[in-house]
Amino acid sequence: MSELIKSIFREYDIRGIFPDELNEDSIAKIAKAIAQKCHQESVAEVVIARDGRLSGPSLLESLQESLNMHGINTINIGLATSPLLYFAAKKQASKSGIMITGSHNPKNYNGIKLVIDDKPVDVIASVNGKITHGDRLRIKIPIVDDSWCDSGQLFTTFYTTINNPSIEELKGKTILGTARYKKVNPITEKINFRVAISIKSMLGDLVFLDMGTYDIDFLKRLKKMEQLTIELQDGVEIKVSDYFDIPKNTFVMDGVNNALDRARAECLKIVKENDIVKLGLKKINNEN
């Protein structure tokens, strides 16, 4: 099997270019991890479906085979929309479902959206700090195996009340910006923010910005920076003021190490529990 590429794990889902980043082998690996999570949550059955992309049928088949192989029953509803999959999942006792979909990405992409008993399959470390506007700085650690517990995806959100009807078109695009470290003798660096998704929230929109995936040890260095201020800036294609009323967040970084340590410990705990379940299932299969 090919190695999984960590960058395919996003805020709310899994996305990658088919077949270079995401293919039948990687789907089988991910399905194995999902099966382990299902066993942990006492979920024995999930609804699965796919969208209309050409890579969908083979990826769905790989998903189903791997889930079944690892002890999870599947209800395959075939070609469907994501809302229909979620509806079907809610109708089942397990309230669990997995959708093979590239969402609004280009046609060469595909991915996974999932709900497992309404619980996440990631651990989120939230930086403890002040924020002038918007969301907390968060680090998502995918639960796959213990090696994955050593890295995390850094992201944040900006809440805006401008209500630009074109804001959904920002998805997948890059917004230029800066990161300024420290209160005294600050250091300013350029940084790119990839727009992951925007969702309606209260009187405006919540825009999720991906800042990249980093090793936990590297992220712990942020504590030495004391304070982090990130600011969105105009580019050739995107004028920030057209979408964001306050394009700036500030975070105090003194809590980052504790947050990361807790998240990593939880990730390792879940992986260990999943491994115990895996060994138990293997023993049962051998006995049968």
- pLDDT 10s digits, 239-252: 999 999 989 888 88
Q: What is the per-residue pLDDT across 207-219, written as a single tens digit (0 to 9) for each?
A: 889 999 999 998 8
How confident is the model over 109-134, as a mean pLDDT?
A: 69
Higher pLDDT, 175 or 276: 175
pLDDT bucket at 12, cuts 50 / 70 / 90: low
Q: What is the per-residue pLDDT across 21-46, written as a single tens digit (0 to 9) for each?
A: 999 999 998 898 888 888 878 899 99
- Statement: residue 56 has pLDDT above 90: yes
Phi, psi of 233 (to 5 degrees): -130, 155
Ordered strands of the 97-100 beta sheet: 14-17, 109-115, 97-100, 45-50, 73-79
Cα–Cα distance for residue pair 262/255, rounded to 1 Å: 11
pLDDT bucket at 263, cuts 50 / 70 / 90: confident
pTM over 0.75: no
Chain mean position to CA 139: 10
Parallel/antiparallel/unpaired status of strands 204-215 and 151-160: antiparallel
CB 253 within 8 A of CB 179: no
The token pair that represents 220 in the structure block: 């712990």
pLDDT of residue 129: 44
The token pair that represents 121 in the structure block: 């399959």
* All structural domains of the chain: 6-115 (3.40.120.10), 122-266 (no CATH)
